[in-house]
Amino acid sequence: MNISIIGSGYVGLVSGTCFAELGNKVICADNDAKKIALLKNGRVPIFEPGLEELIKNNLKKGRLKFSTNIKEAVINSEVIFIAVGTPPLDSGEADLTGIEHVARSIAQNLTGYRLIVEKSTVPVETGERVKHTIATYVKRKIKFDVASNPEFLREGTAINDFMHPDRIVIGVESKKARDILTSLYQPLNAPIVVTNIKSAELIKHASNAFLATKISFINAVSRVCDKVGANVEEVAKGMCLDKRIGRAFLDAGIGYGGSCFPKDLDAFVTISENVGYDFDLLKAARRVNEEQKSFYLKKIKDALWVLKDKNIGILGLSFKPNTDDIRSAPSLDIIKSLLQDGAKVRAYDPQAMLKIKNEINGITLCKDPYEVARHADCLLVVTEWDEFKELDFKRLKKQMRCALIIDGRNIYDPEEMSKFGFKYISIGRPSRKDGGK
């Protein structure tokens, strides 16, 4: 099929490239000329494992094209995906300016039937707005369909998530739209859930809100574990063998971050409020997530007493491993608070150093974990990169002024850390096997 994707951010770029890999002819459009120039040369502005290679390969095969020209994209495609950003406004609502703008541009360039598909995460009823906007601005009477096809890919595993999804959701209003999208996704061999447009829009918000709530739930349980000397990992293990619960998203830590969960929860709370429902449960999930960072900071203060002039080393800055993304990363709030208290912060992350440099002043960036540990009074594990799981702990300890690790992601075994001679504090897990504090 001839496809275009308007908006070459995370979702647009990965989806467009994967559609090309499946044999479609794809134009990825974006109004950021710098970004498009980079992409035309096979250079990728984001870090996503495997993406650059896939882009280069599909550029070479002539299946993938990048353009700043939305008209070219609309004229040459049967299906047009809208994948522009929907950033949060101060009110928590999603800013739909980009979506409206693209809908108008599509209308003004429409020459024949097109299927216009929302891929960005949008509030329920946006599909109706898009349909109305296109109908208003289209020059003559041309048939078109609007559909919703939310994307569930995760940063760091985006290509695999796109190619092997648990399900594909398509919200449609006509048989033609349903047939086009079903045949586009047929090569993926995944279950396809066909719904109306509003349900599809809600599935995305409800799924992200549910996953975020699951994380907040286990984080709340970890607080109780900490108080009584139980182990949150054992609790999660005991819970997850019940097939109705499952193991995924039951890792306690310093809370979720990233470009989706915080923003989508805010948006879903506001959407619900706007239609007259107070989604208290999500507000609580959000609150637990915020508290988790304060709770971690309290652990640091309890252990170090006064933070002024203490050397604190940070392992990991991105909101999760395998990405350079620091949007709403817990590291940001944690570092800012430590600096405010007068601590000296050294940090290392395999990918996110450049981004943190532009975001926070006053920290020293180091070339590896051992340099971070030099003269440190305490080391904090903030992101669970694999690289941190296999450190030379003897070497690490030698570098440190005090052998103290406060692990916000529970990546080490407390017993082993104690054998290496560290004082080891983690989340919802006792330092001793018998639950003693």
Work out how close the CB of 264 gets to ligand UDX at its nearest, in angstroms, rounded to a whole number: 7
What x-and-dash track marks residues 279-318 binding ligand UDX by CB under 6 A?
Answer: ----------------------------------------
Instruction: Select 215 or 343, whichever has its Cβ closest to ligand UDX.
Output: 215
Binding residue for ligand UDX, selected from 153, 197, 220, 396, defined by CB under 6 A = 153
- CB contact set of 370 (below 8 Å; sequence gap of 6+): 392, 395, 396, 399
250 binds ligand UDX (CB under 6 A): yes
Binding residue for ligand UDX, selected from 47, 66, 295, 319, defined by CB under 6 A = 319
- CB contact set of 303 (below 8 Å; sequence gap of 6+): 378, 404, 406, 423, 425
Instruction: Select 17 or 105, whichever has its Cβ closest to ligand UDX.
Output: 17
- CB contact set of 200 (below 8 Å; sequence gap of 6+): 147, 148, 149, 150, 169, 170, 171
DSSP 188: G
Nearest Cα neighbor of 331 from 265, 409, 389, 393 is 409
DSSP 89: P
Does residue 18 carry a catalytic annotation? no
Stretch of 13-21, 252-260, 280-288, 397-405 contacting ligand UDX, by CB under 6 A? 252-260
Instruction: Select 20 or 250, whichever has its Cβ closest to ligand UDX.
Output: 250
Distance CA 11, CA 430 (A): 40
β-bridge pairing 2-6 and 79-82 = parallel
107 binds ligand UDX (CB under 6 A): no
Distance CA 422, CA 415 (A): 10
Instruction: Select 264 or 377, whichever has its Cβ closest to ligand UDX.
Output: 264
Cβ 116 vs Cβ 137: under 8 Å = no
Residue list 205-224, contact with ligand UDX (CB under 6 A): 208, 211, 215
Q: Tell me which of 28, 260, 366, 378 is the catalytic residue.
A: 260
Binding residue for ligand UDX, selected from 253, 313, 428, 430, defined by CB under 6 A = 253
Instruction: Select 382 or 405, whichever has its Cβ closest to ligand UDX.
Output: 382
Binding residue for ligand UDX, selected from 56, 71, 129, 154, defined by CB under 6 A = 154
Distance CA 171, CA 150 (A): 9
Cβ 319 vs Cβ 383: under 8 Å = yes
Instruction: Select 110 or 203, whichever has its Cβ closest to ligand UDX.
Output: 203
- CB contact set of 398 (below 8 Å; sequence gap of 6+): none
155 binds ligand UDX (CB under 6 A): yes
β-bridge pairing 114-118 and 378-381 = unpaired
Work out how close the CB of 341 gets to ligand UDX at its nearest, in angstroms, rounded to a whole number: 24
Give me the active site residues, please: 260
Give me the residues that bind ligand UDX (CB under 6 A), please. Answer: 151-155, 208, 211, 215, 249-251, 253, 256-258, 260-261, 319-320
